Amino acid sequence: MDWDRRRKWVRGVAISSAPLGLLLVAGLVTWRMLTAHFVRRYHRETCDPIELSGAGIGDYPASYHLTDVPWIATEEWTCSANSLAMVAAQNGMDVSTAHCNFRMGFTYGASAVPGSNAVQFFGEPEAGLRAAAPYLGLERRYYVTDDETLYVDALRYYVSRGYPVRLGLDVAVLYDVGEALPHSDLVVGYDAARFAIYETVCLPDFPCEPRYLPPGAEGLWVAEEKVLAAVLSQARLFSYPWRYSLTIFDAAPVASDLGPIWTRNGNLLIGGADYGPAQGADAIEGLADSIDRRGPRIDVSKLLPPLGAAVWNRADNAAYVSEAFEGQPDIERAAALFERAADDYRAVLTALDDGIADQAEAGYVAQHLRSAAGAEREIGDIFIARGH
């Protein structure tokens, strides 16, 4: 699972062709300043952070474990949607991971990975949680701080107040398993030196198994310093303008108008980003162009895991919309297109399994990617029409 959700935002800095050495240094400094500015701005707009305050953190018992949250863990990388489904269940709304994926847009759309030929097929989790929460009768609150002591006090305090606390963290740090891996888990308990976590995705190297457990199951106990290191690692990975973050959800009225969700998911599928990495069908077509251009010279190793996710995501998208919106002709068409995209990605995955042998095979792969992109663009149009 090598896909990385790094994103966004860099606007070009033009360097004119005057004395090159000086301008190159000045341009590099300017580029880094602009990049940092837009990254900070993006995170603040997307995450809508609230600064943690010691005044809002009260006393808490020495140990505590929630008993009203089910444990949902899957093999598929639907970590944020699994987290949301568990929180929704605690609040009396029994919904599937696929239900949460749709409202989050988490498995809809695609994004080019900067510095790579790869395209990843998962959405921005913080934006998705913000979008989905009202449809699950929840209000999202995203707290941030640079104060380690305040942060661990807040984790324990909120759990003791009945909140499962959602953490964005680097799970590779949590379990000592290789390269950085952005992730979402739930904290459901604590004692003096550890936190109990409901792991949302169970890969072979993780100390859990994919399953659904009823409320009250004991979580995985992880040392406090490990949790802190994993949260901080993700903050550094994404250049957050804060060191530590946590998300809790309060009960709220349930939103019912799916128009904004249809529109948002449609745009995720189509793309059309004005700046930053290509999104949606634009990103997939860009990958097809790159494969056409570079042929056997392209390194396919970074392409395979995201394409495996694409096969599963599109098949799951098809299954969800056809069941949730049964008998509606436009959605039946969208479901068929999702299946077509899944078949195209499956063909690409098979072809790339042993690399690209020659230009003819590169053309075959590019043709299937363009077919998938065309299907996703048409689905996006269907969704946006629904949103209107």
Model pLDDT for residues 85-127, shown as the tens digit of each residue: 999 999 999 999 999 999 999 999 999 987 788 899 998 899 9
Query: 76 with 210, same domain?
Result: yes
∠ CA 302-308-312, nearest 5°, is: 150
- Please, which pLDDT band fits residue 178 given cuts at 50, 70 and 90? confident
Model pLDDT for residues 344-358, shown as the tens digit of each residue: 999 999 999 999 999
∠ CA 314-319-323, nearest 5°, is: 145
pLDDT at 292: 94
Residue 16, pLDDT above cutoff 90? no
Separation CA 161–CA 190 (nearest Å):
12
Query: 84 with 226, same domain?
Result: yes
Contact (CB, 8 A) for 145 and 157: no
Model pLDDT for residues 246-291, shown as the tens digit of each residue: 999 999 999 999 999 999 999 999 998 777 789 999 999 999 999 9
- pTM score: 0.88
Query: 266 with 241, same domain?
Result: no
Q: Tell me, yes or no, whether 128 lies in a domain.
A: no
Q: Tell me, yes or no, whether 269 lies in a domain.
A: yes
Average model confidence (pLDDT) for the chain?
Answer: 89
Domain final residue, candidates 235, 251, 267: 251
Query: 183 with 210, same domain?
Result: yes
Q: Which residues of 150-182 are buried (b: 16+ CB within 10 A; e: fewer)?
A: bbbbbbbbbbbeebbbbbbbbbbbbbeeeebbb
Query: 54 with 77, same domain?
Result: yes
Q: 380: domain range? A: 259-387
Count of domains in the chain?
2
Q: Tell me, yes or no, whether 125 lies in a domain.
A: no
Residue 11, pLDDT above cutoff 60? no
Number of helices (H), then strands (E), belonging to the chain: the values are: 12, 12
Query: 212 with 296, same domain?
Result: no
Q: Tell me, yes or no, whether 40 lies in a domain.
A: no
Query: 245 with 264, same domain?
Result: no
Query: 293 with 356, same domain?
Result: yes
pLDDT at 42: 83
- Please, which pLDDT band fits residue 198 given cuts at 50, 70 and 90? very high
Q: Tell me, yes or no, whether 105 lies in a domain.
A: no
Which residue reads 């995985």 in tokens? 220
Q: Which residues of 284-319 are buried (b: 16+ CB within 10 A; e: fewer)?
A: bbbbbebbbeebeebebebbebbbbbbbbbbbbbbe
Domain final residue, candidates 251, 274, 301: 251
Query: 215 with 269, same domain?
Result: no
What's the token pair of residue 361?
A: 């095979």
Query: 238 with 286, same domain?
Result: no
Separation CA 65–CA 194 (nearest Å):
11
Contact (CB, 8 A) for 129 and 247: yes
Nearest Cα to 7, choosing from 185, 182, 170, 138? 182
Query: 199 with 305, same domain?
Result: no
Nearest Cα to 107, choosing from 134, 74, 76? 76
Domain final residue, candidates 229, 251, 273: 251
- Specify the CATH number for the domain of residue 80: 3.90.70
